Amino acid sequence: MSQLPPQIDIDLDKVEDAGARSHGLDFPRTWASDMIEAVLGSLSFVLNTLWIVLVVIIVSNVVMRYMLGVNYIWIEEVQWHMYAVGFMFGIGYALMHDAHVRVDVLAANFRPTPRAWIELFSIVCIILPMCWLIISYGIPFVEASYNRGERSSAPGGLANRWMIKGVIVLAFAYIGLAAFARLLRVTAFLFNFPRARAVR
């Protein structure tokens, strides 16, 4: 009588999650980083509704174009603008949840401490200065667009072009806050400052 091999139960969701998050480091949480992430998370919840609205607009635009023979330029521009808003704020969301694309060919094999130093360097020397530059140059860019009453160059396009340009400033402020929250968690890991929050 032959014996059946033992049956192994595998939770595929856990395997997928482990593979997707294998690159990430789970730095300790702090009170300040948790507060910043809570505020940004609330904004993200609101911004995620944009995707539903965007799908409805795209479907409506397709129906109008192919079934009714009607095409409005301003509807297409609304689509582009909504996609830009979702994409730009999505960068900060991915950074906050450590879900962004990495090139970890070398760093994936490093110990946690060198990887934390790489993260610290990336945030302090690349992300935060880039956010500061884009915000500081972006504000006059938006003001100039507002003062000129800039609108779409397409006939029938959207007015108030300054609004979508203003999203650039807001999105990089969001990215900067997400990076700062991540920085607090990295420094808690490396220097024990601010003090890590006890996890229950």
pLDDT digits 0-9 by tens, 35-66: 999 999 999 888 888 999 999 999 999 999 89
Q: 14: which 2 tokens?
A: 């856990």
Q: Considering the domain boundaries, does residue 124 fall inside one?
A: yes
Residue 67 lies in a domain: yes
Report the distance separating Cα 119 and Cα 99, nearest Å: 14
Report yes or no on 196 lying in a domain: no
Domain that holds residue 118: 28-191
Query: What per-residue confidence (pLDDT) applies to 199?
Result: 65
Local structure of residue 153 (DSSP, 8 states): S
pLDDT > 70? residue 200:
no
- pLDDT of res. 77: 93
Residue 7, pLDDT above cutoff 90: no
CA angle 189, 194, 200 (to 5 degrees): 75
Q: What is the biggest distance separating any 2 CA atoms in the chain, rounded to whole angstroms?
A: 88
Q: Which of 5-19, 62-76, 110-124 has the lowest mean pLDDT?
A: 5-19
Tell me the whole-structure pTM to 2 decimals: 0.83
Instruction: Determine the residue type at 61.
Output: N
Q: Quick one: average pLDDT of 168-187?
A: 97
The predicted pLDDT at position 106 comes to 74
Residue 145, in any domain of the structure: yes
Above 90 in pLDDT, residue 18? no
CA distance 137 to 37: 26
**191/195 Cα distance (integer angstroms):** 9
- Cα separations in angstroms, 64 against 51, 55, 69, 75, 83: 20, 14, 6, 11, 20
- Region 17-24: mean pLDDT is 54
Segment 4-12 mean pLDDT: 68
The mean pLDDT value of the chain amounts to 88
Is 1 a member of any domain?
no
The answer to the question of residue 6 being in a domain is no
The mean per-residue pLDDT over the stretch 130-135 comes to 98
The answer to whether residue 198 is domain-embedded is: no
- Number of domains into which the chain is organized: 1
For residue 182, pLDDT over 90 is answered with yes
Is residue 102 assigned to a domain? yes
